[in-house]
Amino acid sequence: MNTEFQLFPDAASTTARPVDQLYLSLVAFSAAMSIFVAALVIYLAIKYRRNNDVDRTQRPTHASTEITWMLLSLPVLVFIFIWGAKVCFFLLRSPDGAMPITVVPKQWMWKFQHANGRREIDTLHIPVGQPVRLTMVSQDVIHSFFVPAFRIKRDVLPGRYTDVWFEATEPGQYRLYCAEYCGTNHSRMVGKIVAMTPGDFAAWLSGASGDDEPPQVAGEKLFEQLQCASCHRAGGDAPARGPSLEQIYQRPQPLASGETVVADDAYLRESILRPAAKVVAGYQPIMPTYEGQISEEGVIQLLAYIKSLGSVEPAPPAAAGTPTGEATVPQGAGRLEDQR
Amino acid sequence: MSAAPEPSPAASPAEPVHVSRNYLNASYTVRSWLLTVDHKRIAILYLLGVTLFFFLGGAAAVLFRLELMTPQADLVESETYNKLFTLHGIIMIFFFLVPAIPAVLGNFLVPIMIGARDLAFPKLNLMSWYLFMIGGVFTLWVTVAGGVDTGWTFYTPYSSTYSNTYVMATAVGIFITGFSSILTGLNFVVTVHKMRAPGMTWFRLPLFIWSHYATSLIMILGTPVLAITILLVALERGLGIGIFDPKLGGDPILFQHLFWFYSHPAVYIMVLPAMGVQSELVAAFSKNRVFGYRFVAYASIAIAVLGFLVWGHHMFVSGQSLFAGMVFSILSFLIAIPSAIKVFNWTATLHRGTVAFDTPLLYAIGFIGLFTIGGLTGLFLATMAVDVHVHDTYFVVAHFHYIMVGGTVMAYLGGIHYWWPKITGRLYPEGWARFSAVLVFVGFNLTFFPQFLLGYLGMPRRYHVYDAGFQVLNVMSSAGASILGVAYLFPMCYLLWSLKYGRSAPANPWGAVGLEWTTPSPPPTYNFVETPIVTWEAYEYPGSNPAEVAD
């Protein structure tokens, strides 16, 4: 937890090792280059100092010397780039079946919610040996989720979902920092990650209090409370005023404009907050905006409910390992992010 | 050949001319300074301005380095701390690093080096100083009135909606100062194109001119984008027009794209002129032509062009797509090549030269060392997988201080020492100057090297309070900063001392070539008694290496 003097950070995730290998290789390369340049400068400066009697006959410089340097440096740079890109793909693309957790920070605290509804502030409990994916959106300004021991960082934006994943390897407590400057108490917007053995974690998770409803349950209540069903009702004979939300998640939607959009998290979110932006073909732009009327947590709950109505994606294998079931897994948030 | 340089073709013709009237003693009235259109006097005005801002920005750094001696808050409140690092960043970048070399050394030297009487638009030049100072007054007013706490990066929506500090006044200050930068760039480009002396062909230009030409292009093309960005922030903050804040329908990432589209090239506005100074210093103190002259010249242009294509490497963790990140990553690697060419060429210039260890060379050698480390750590940041971890940590802080302070400030001080006899007509005490140069190098490394370690350990930047485990390295950094602070005060003292007590400088105290050394020290108002006719190559020292051959 960074209370003792260290020269190298703890490594406690599956991503730490490849990042460290890359980093240390770069350190070795840079040290070698720096020493080479420094030694050369010192050697030449001393050898050709003003009063030293040495041969100073000049020979013409050839353009090929310069071009050789350039051509030699190119493969080195390309090698580092490819290595870095490889690690990066591993680092940024979350594996399927990762345990979903939502993160909604605001000035200056971290709020977490597990899939079974259990909430936490500034402390996040996770199991080791299990990939975890955080879906994050900020309530106010930009924050950044940074856990040095896991070598991961991702900005948390207002108005847009970002995600980050990690798999802890060692039980223990690790520092969480906000890395993007967010105002007066930015440096106090710290928390901790408590990595536990899967058994301990399951026990901890079941200790949810009665108020902690799973997001899709809370979302269903919100759905009723906001009377969404009066337009988006399922089934029925009379034509509905809004598209049915049954199995809408991840389904391509033809728009009034003639385009097609996949009903992912970003689209569903936009359609709740700014419904007129992309209206589904065959419907009138009559839905009122909910901008400013639903908190970010409320939107996440509504999305969880909509997802629980089914998706067109093949269901992940029987929710094994996740205590929540497939329906609430915010599938694809990360990958769709990548396609922008 | 003998060690003592023979008079070069460049140095001989105008040497004996003695002019008692020079630009400094031409007139003594305040009016003659404030309404001057002489590029050399305007350079002096800029020198006063940037020096004031340098010590102001430095004072802010002293305060927060003191605060960071302990993990908890003790000297100042978080609000004050945030204002201190913001002030430090804004002043050092917009009011010191961007104008320092172009507006002081560039203003003084560009016309003289190309054999012209003045810049193309002398009145525009004076206007640019006034714009700079008006922008500066806004910033000073903000400082006194209560400060601004957004960081120099002004990220939205914090700056446009949430901050309760003087964002607007600061924005106006930077907006106005930006135009001084644009006017200086415009002036340099036109001057270099149209006012070169007879015979001064493009490839006879000193590399100082090439790098200022490249810098000017960035100033003209990049700075308007900054002005637009600031204007948009002001529109959102003042009128509530939704551009960046999602609550108003805006996109916060758009701000980052616009901001870095200027601010990354701005890094090269700060460092390219330093590279130009560096080329002059290395050539003059090894009495040798800069190795691979044409490649160094082309590298400046390559950096200016590529510099516009790498802004996305500031946004690897901002929610930019993975593939956009990859493109920015590879482009950032490519920009390392022209920078590396320069480092190797400066080093190779020493080869078979006649090296004199005068103060400017000490700064130049320091520059090579620090710029190399700064450049190599840039590769870490261009590597996305590593950047994810070190982004927004002290690693980044250390990296850009190695470039900005280790590069630009070292070159600026080296240049000030090199051209001081020309600018003032006085020599400074060499012993003190060498001692200060070494002290700057030591203090700098002690300040900033520990910050690389802090960064990889995970200490985020802009943290007022921090975890106890980071204290040892922070104390080292603060100790280094105190040495660095003292080392910066020394030149201030002995250079001022030299104005009254320093020995008079001859026209060419270093035995250097270049048109500026053919005119008396200090130069007459119109620089040259007769317009020089250039018949020699750049850096044509006796026995220096011939121009490179194409093969």
What are the pLDDT digits (tens) for A62-72?
778 888 888 88
A93 at interface of B, judged by CB pairs closer than 8 A: yes
Q: Peptide bond before B157: cis, by omega within 30 degrees of 0?
A: yes
Residue B203 amino acid letter: F
Count structural domains, chain B. Answer: 1
Chain B residues within 8 A of A141 when measuring between CB atoms: 155, 157-158, 161-162
- Whole-angstrom CA distances from A67 to A74, A75, B338 are 11, 13, 11
What average pLDDT does the structure give for chain B?
92
- Report which listed range, A201-215, A220-234, B173-187, is most confident: B173-187
Per residue in A223-245, pLDDT tens? 888 888 888 876 555 567 888 88
Chain B residues within 8 A of A58 when measuring between CB atoms: 288, 352, 543-546
Answer whether residue B474 is part of any domain.
yes
A136 at interface of B, judged by CB pairs closer than 8 A: no
Chain B residues within 8 A of A144 when measuring between CB atoms: 317, 392
The yes/no answer on whether domain A215-309 falls in CATH 3.30.1050.10 is: no
- Structure tokens belonging to residue B22: 């020079």
Chain B residues within 8 A of A162 when measuring between CB atoms: 319
Question: CB–CB of A30 and B467 under 8 A?
Answer: no
Biggest CA–CA distance in chain A, Å, is: 103
User: Searching chain B, which residue's CA lies closest to the CA of residue A153?
Assistant: B388
Fold of A99-205: Immunoglobulin-like (2.60.40)
Least confident of A28-32, A130-134, A298-302: A298-302
User: Searching chain A, which residue's CA lies closest to the CA of residue B317?
Assistant: A154
Question: CB–CB of A70 and B337 under 8 A?
Answer: yes
**CA B541 remoteness from chain centre:** 28
Delimiting residues of CATH 2.60.40.420 domain(s) in chain A: 99-205
Q: Closest to B319 (Cβ–Cβ): which among A152, A157, A292?
A: A157
- Whole-angstrom CA distances from A173 to A2, A143, A283, B416, B470 are 10, 21, 52, 52, 17
Which alpha helices (DSSP H) does chain A contain, by range? 16-47, 63-92, 198-205, 215-225, 265-273, 296-308, 333-339
Q: Closest to B549 (Cβ–Cβ): which among A44, A60, A149?
A: A60
Residue/partner pairs of B31-38 with CB below 8 Å, 24 or more apart: B35/B126, B36/B126, B37/B118, B37/B122, B37/B123, B37/B125, B37/B126, B38/B118, B38/B122, B38/B525
Q: What is the nearest CA distance from A54 to chain B, expressed in angstroms? A: 8
- pLDDT band with cut points at 50, 70 and 90 for residue B427: very high
Kindly tell me if the per-residue pLDDT of A248 is higher than 50: yes
Q: How many residues does chain A have?
A: 340
- pLDDT band with cut points at 50, 70 and 90 for residue B544: low
Answer whether residue B3 is part of any domain.
no
Residue range B133-162: average pLDDT? 93
For residue B501, the domain's CATH number is 1.20.210.10
Q: Tell me the residue range of the domain where B496 lies.
A: 35-517
Say what the pLDDT of residue A238 is: 58
Say what the pLDDT of residue A239 is: 64
Say what the pLDDT of residue A116 is: 87
User: Searching chain A, which residue's CA lies closest to the CA of residue B382?
Assistant: A81
Answer whether residue B509 is part of any domain.
yes
Question: CB–CB of B355 and A57 under 8 A?
Answer: no
Instruction: For residues B433 and A337, give the distance between their C-alpha atoms in angstroms, rounded to a whole number.
Output: 55
Instruction: For residues B133 and B227, give the distance between their C-alpha atoms in angstroms, rounded to a whole number.
Output: 17
User: Searching chain A, which residue's CA lies closest to the CA of residue B293?
Assistant: A61
Chain B residues within 8 A of A185 when measuring between CB atoms: 78
**CA B509 remoteness from chain centre:** 25
Per residue in A270-287, pLDDT tens? 888 888 888 888 888 888
Q: What is the nearest CA distance from A315 to chain B, expressed in angstroms? A: 26
ipTM of the complex model: 0.90
Better pLDDT: B128 or A64: B128
Per residue in B12-54, pLDDT tens? 444 444 447 899 988 899 999 999 999 999 999 999 999 999 9
Q: What is the nearest CA distance from B21 to chain A, expressed in angstroms? A: 35
Say what the pLDDT of residue A266 is: 85
Say what the pLDDT of residue B542 is: 81
Delimiting residues of CATH 1.10.760.10 domain(s) in chain A: 215-309
Q: How many residues does chain B have?
A: 551
Q: What is the nearest CA distance from A67 to chain B, expressed in angstroms? A: 9
Q: What is the nearest CA distance from B465 to chain A, expressed in angstroms? A: 6
Question: CB–CB of B549 and A62 under 8 A?
Answer: yes
Say what the pLDDT of residue B124 is: 96
A225 at interface of B, judged by CB pairs closer than 8 A: no
**DSSP-based helix, strand, coil % in chain B, nearest 5:** 70, 0, 30
Say what the pLDDT of residue B260 is: 96
Answer whether residue B13 is part of any domain.
no
Answer whether residue B525 is part of any domain.
no
DSSP state at residue B134 = H
Say what the pLDDT of residue A210 is: 66
Question: CB–CB of B355 and A93 under 8 A?
Answer: no
Q: Give the pairing of strands A123-127 and A190-196.
A: parallel
Q: Peptide bond before A108: cis, by omega within 30 degrees of 0?
A: yes
Residue range B144-149: average pLDDT? 92
Least confident of A159-168, A234-243, B359-368: A234-243
Question: CB–CB of B385 and A87 under 8 A?
Answer: yes
Q: Give the pairing of strands A143-147 and A123-127.
A: unpaired
Residue range A133-139: average pLDDT? 94
User: Searching chain A, which residue's CA lies closest to the CA of residue B373?
Assistant: A34
Question: Of A276, A56, A248, which Cα lies nearest the Cα of B2?
Answer: A56
Answer whether residue B402 is part of any domain.
yes
Q: Closest to B162 (Cβ–Cβ): which among A44, A92, A141?
A: A141
Q: Closest to B322 (Cβ–Cβ): which among A140, A158, A338?
A: A338
Chain A residues within 8 A of B321 when measuring between CB atoms: 337-340
> Which of A47, A48, A138 is the mutation pick for testing B, counting most B CBs within 10 A?
A48
Say what the pLDDT of residue B548 is: 56
Chain B residues within 8 A of A148 when measuring between CB atoms: 389, 457-458
Question: CB–CB of A185 and B78 under 8 A?
Answer: yes
Say what the pLDDT of residue A52 is: 86
Say what the pLDDT of residue B345 is: 93
Answer whether residue B24 is part of any domain.
no
> Which of A14, A34, A50, A336 is the mutation pick for testing B, counting most B CBs within 10 A?
A50
- pLDDT band with cut points at 50, 70 and 90 for residue A332: very low
Q: Give the pairing of strands A132-136 and A99-103.
A: parallel
Say what the pLDDT of residue B432 is: 96
Kindly tell me if the per-residue pLDDT of A323 is higher than 80: no
Say what the pLDDT of residue B219 is: 96
Say what the pLDDT of residue B17 is: 47
Chain B residues within 8 A of A1 when measuring between CB atoms: 467
Q: What is the nearest CA distance from B292 to chain A, expressed in angstroms? A: 7
Question: CB–CB of A9 and B246 under 8 A?
Answer: no
A71 at interface of B, judged by CB pairs closer than 8 A: no
Q: What percent of chain A has pLDDT over 70?
A: 88
**Half-sphere exposure of residue A339, counting CA atoms within 13 Å on the CB side?**
9
Answer whether residue B537 is part of any domain.
no
